[in-house]
Structure 1
């Protein structure tokens, strides 16, 4: 937890009282004392610092701090992800990892190889998803909570919702193992948002790939190896985020990131 995230309504007269895991972290991990500074941010808002005023180490534990918010939140991510619903235990890890890496939106979609039982998983509950995303933001020192939407029908999403959504994006890519070009070959140097579509274990079927390509997605492959969904998501995010960051830097006239 590299930043303590707060709801806006938790602050009263520039002070906040923390309990639960946030207080435990400040007391046990940070080993803070009165007068110490801690990094603080408002969910979907500014960042700043808190000055510890009081710590209660006995149960129920609590920490009281004054809050100063002087910094703007990090810039918006350049990558969004369209993801066929993975196994619940894998989705938990992916939500945290993607929030840490930085995405604006995550679309969870049905596909032929998605098991029906996955849709009953507790991780799809909005509050459960939110807690996992917050853990990723705490790791990355970010405040902007990704927007997650759930789409149980592949065809209705492709035909009715996707045409409106893709107007946001400069580049659309669909990952599929096989003979498709790699990300470096596929990338079109045009700064802006990129939407990366990642299929289920075993990949998209032919109809799904065809539907995405017909909607404007370019097929891309990480090679002949069959990867776990969480591995593919992270690898693709890292590759395309680097390419997008490089193009933004070049357009701005600065040195490209290494």
Structure 2
């Protein structure tokens, strides 16, 4: 927890009050917190700054806020369209991409996505929010990503893709594409990453027909969470 991310409801005037077990335990066991210590804090959706710990009880931590006038780091210019991965991998991937600065995420169904994945508790609003917060805390960021669920590939093609491609460069990461992933590109990107096993040929064909470019990361087949991190690092 490199940042204590404050929900606006936790702030009252010049004070912040934490009552959740996770952060209080982290303060005690990881930071070895003592009254009088200063920590980096950020207001969700707002700016960051320093706060002094003025009380630490079993059920509440109280901070006195200094001026919160430091802006969060800039976001990556990318909208990530991710074929829904296995639940455990989804949790890790959400944390990783949030820490890297992705602010728009679409979780998409495709042929090789198991339909049972859409019933996972990891897709509950509160669970997604939890993983996004962990990513923000890691990276010292305050701006939550927008996450959209899209349970149909064809409706996505017909109803959303053309709008998302406006003013964005569409890139489809898929093994066997002739071109390697570009480096250090400028401008907004719509990045597609398939499921384990990749998109099926028809899906790739439709994305390319819509104006996207195919690319690869080399001969190795990577797990989704590894591939996404490598792609974002190489692109930006």
User: Would the TM-score normalized by the shorter structure come out above 0.5?
Assistant: yes
2:225 pairs with 1:226: no
Alpha-carbon distance between aligned partners in 1 of 2:200 and 2:138, rounded to the nearest angstrom: 35
Is residue 136–residue 142 contact of structure 2 (8 Å, CA) maintained in 1? yes
Is residue 113–residue 200 contact of structure 1 (8 Å, CA) maintained in 2? yes
Deviation at 1:233, TM superposition (A): 1.0
**1:135-187 Cα deviation digits (max 9, x unpaired):** 01111111111111000010111111111122252x21001101421013xx6
Describe the SS at the equivalent of 1:49: strand
2:136 pairs with 1:133: no
Structure 2: gaps of 5 or more residues: none
Tell me which residue corresponds to 1:153. Answer: 152
Alpha-carbon distance between aligned partners in 1 of 2:38 and 2:221, rounded to the nearest angstrom: 46
Tell me which residue corresponds to 1:111. Answer: 110
Is residue 79–residue 240 contact of structure 1 (8 Å, CA) maintained in 2? no
Describe the SS at the equivalent of 2:23: helix
**Greater fraction of residues in helix:** 1
Runs of 4 or more above 6 Å deviation: none
Q: Cα gap change, 1:168/1:127 in structure 2, threshold over 3 Å: closer, same or farther?
A: farther
Q: Count matched residues.
A: 234
Tell me which residue corresponds to 1:40. Answer: 41
Alpha-carbon distance between aligned partners in 2 of 1:160 and 1:96, rounded to the nearest angstrom: 28
- CA RMSD, Structure 1 to Structure 2 (Å): 1.5
Describe the SS at the equivalent of 1:80: strand
Q: Cα gap change, 1:156/1:176 in structure 2, threshold over 3 Å: closer, same or farther?
A: same
Stretch moving more, 159-168 or 122-131:
159-168
Stretch moving more, 97-106 or 221-230:
221-230
Structure 1: gaps of 5 or more residues: 242-258
2:198 pairs with 1:197: no
Tell me which residue corresponds to 2:14. Answer: 14
Give the TM-score normalised by the residue count of structure 2.
Answer: 0.94
Describe the SS at the equivalent of 1:71: coil
Is residue 24–residue 61 contact of structure 1 (8 Å, CA) maintained in 2? no
Give the TM-score normalised by the residue count of structure 1.
Answer: 0.86
Superposition map of 1:1-258 within 5 A: 1-19=1-19, 20-56=21-57, 60-68=58-66, 69-169=68-168, 171-184=169-182, 189=185, 191-241=186-236
Alpha-carbon distance between aligned partners in 1 of 2:104 and 2:167, rounded to the nearest angstrom: 11
